Chain A
Amino acid sequence: MKVALFIPCYIDQFYPHVAKATLELLEKLGCDVSYPMDQTCCGQPMANSGFERETVGTTKQFLETFKDFDFIVAPSGSCVLHVKEHQPKIERQEAEQKEIQHKVYELSEFLIDILKIGTIKGSFPHKIGFHSSCHGQRGLRLSSSSELNEKPFNKAKDLFAGIQGLEVVELTRKDECCGFGGTFAVTEEALSIQMGKDRLSDHLAHQVEIICGGDTSCLMHLQGIAERNNKPVKFMHLAEILNQAIS
């Protein structure tokens, strides 16, 4: 099984440890992982700002880089959703593009749905809050949505279930947005900060040591606010916790 690691640009530049944890975790689980060196960005920041049409070059680059792999795995729900739904159609490469949209996976869904590992066995004695990113949750359906009348599920929490000592708190507002939203974070700065503060308060009210999530972008925003306000809480990506916990 040839697995390509797709590392979103901001993780590559600012959070290399998240990328390393993803790589190590997948290797520990027996995958043959490679990181195609020519990858750049999926184009999401531009498209969400209303410039999807300007991302044709970026999208072609993405297709060229990843087309020969069986699976493409990224530690980000948001970037995966973008590849699946919002990359512009590339003429004469429709078939390849369609195929890629079906073989790109967010980390937790790859572990649960493709590797079918059920859960991770190991130990991580900490109390954490899990932040479901909206694109992962309502876009990729990695967990049930509180608006829908459906049976509750959460792929990340399934992975946590076999980890000893790990306590995941139940938040008051289970799945409210943190207010990052890409360029929203700067164009609607005041709202973005207020939403982040509110999300942070919910976690802190439940005395979590660590806020964990599947999208580093949300965590970057929340961490920035926590640090500015001297809140004593750590931030870890899902891949980091699983990689540390696994035995």
Chain B
Amino acid sequence: MSHPNQAANFLKDEKRAHWHDETLWFVREKRDISSKGIPEWEELRKLASGIKDHVLSKLDYYLEELEKTASANGIKVHWAKDAAEHNEIVLSILQEKKCKAIVKSKSILTEECHLNPFLEKHGVEVVDTDLGERIVQFLNQPPSHIVLPAIHLKKRDISEIFHEKLQTEKGNEDPAYLTNAARIHLRDKFMKAKVAITGVNFAIPETGEFVVCTNEGNADMGVHLADVHIACMGIEKIIPKREHLGVFLRLLARSATGQSITNYNSHFRSPAPGKEIHLILVDNGRTEQLSREKFKNSLKCIRCGACMNTCPIYRRSGGYSYGSTVPGPIGSILSPGIDVKKYSTLPFASTLCGSCSDVCPVKINIHEQLYEWRQEITKAQGWSAKEMSMKMANGIFKSPLAYKVSGKVLRATLKTLPDSLIYNPLNAWGKGRNVPEVPKESFKEWYQKNRS
């Protein structure tokens, strides 16, 4: 996985890349207008950040509390230490219910656990019911964005996919027409599924309930029609009290899409008579991340996607360039914690501009963690040509004389080298940019002559 290569590839179609950038910038601007409509916005961010810091500092306590209160409400609570355990738990419930087809809504966690291919291998049909997810599922692709999974596709692409999969009219790109076709197709799947899977946005140990936030209402539709509801959550999704929703629900939708609130904020507290609710608490590397002092607060993330929409890199390289379930800035600080080698280029896919940290509703210092991951990655990679050159650079900069001499040599070299060498394809600076004109003397030389 190399982010620079993937990004260069994405940028080859400059027009489409520009469209992708503009589309996500539009979402960022909606978020700006919406967040600026609330005078206490910065206060809310501070509160949310504080609540999440508190939760992370007592996560063990809150998880056990949640298990107690949810169990008392009749919810069956399961613990999964990793993706494999999570998938096995889901499968065992399905097998017990003799269920061969399920519907799913709003779960990036099941993407992280690669649940779909696992279940399909065991003969279970999985239907993602949210429109964007369904579209990428038709293409056998993962989501390219955690809130807007098919944001990389244009209306025309979707029209073609639906023509092939749902037999819609060829060339009909009318969004209402296409959405209706998806609706009819999904109704059938909803009716047949005995088990529905959803994600969890917030779990509340005070009351033993959990909350799922959606715009399309598919989580509710799936759950109400099915006999069994399986909700999968990362262990960091806890907020202590129900009243804290007043902070988080105001931040979540505004940060994600600029809406004042998600259309459906559904509270699940206890199963209806004759039905079952299962809640799977998944670790999958989170405890390890919690143990890393510099990176633990990445677990405050509420998956709003605002850092993706604001990131000048993400907008111009697309979600797939990151090669991880969660792309963008937050993905670039979460993924190296899972596999530092595989995701080693991600913390470098940033100019450290800091927009992600300023946009984050729970105040994760994302760009500072990108910087810190760089330090870790160069250590993990061991001796390299790059490290050699850095050591040499430090040798030069710690000695004023060596700096003076090498600066002089550098300027003289740049002056005498023919353009063909400076603008050699191996020189990444000169490929698309001119090099600065070389002055006849450095400031230091001028100062020595004229001022000292």
Contact = CB atoms under 8 A, between A and B. Distances in A.
Interface string B287-313: 000000000000000000000001011
B428 A189 contact: yes
A85 to B, nearest CB: 8
Specify the main secondary structure of chain A where it touches its partner.
helix
Given A186-B429, A223-B436, A177 B400 contact: no
Contacts of B396: 40
B357 A138 contact: yes
A184 B11 CA distance: 16
A45 B233 CA distance: 40
A148 B443 contact: no
Interface residues of A, number: 75
A127 interface: no
Nearest to A13: B407
Interface in B417-434: 428-429, 431-434
A225 B432 CA distance: 6
A237 interface: no
B443 A50 contact: no
Given A40-B396, A191-B7, A177 B443 contact: no
Contact of A190 (B8, B386, B451): B8
Interface in B98-136: none
A43 B397 contact: yes
Contact of B395 (A57, A86, A145): A57
Interface stretch (A161-169, A194-202, A205-213): A194-202
Interface string B7-34: 1100100100100010001000000100
B169 interface: no
Interface in B337-357: 348-355, 357
Interface in B378-412: 378-379, 386-387, 390-391, 393-400, 403, 407, 410-411
Interface in A117-174: 134-135, 137-139, 145-150, 173
A54 B387 contact: yes
Given A86-B371, A145-B358, A189-B428, A49 B378 contact: yes
Contacts of B144: none
A196 B4 CA distance: 16
A150 B42 CA distance: 8
Interface of B: 3-4, 7-8, 11, 14, 17, 21, 25, 32, 35-36, 38-39, 41-42, 310, 312-313, 316-317, 348-355, 357-359, 371, 374-379, 386-387, 390-391, 393-400, 403, 407, 410-411, 428-429, 431-439, 441-444, 446-448, 451-452
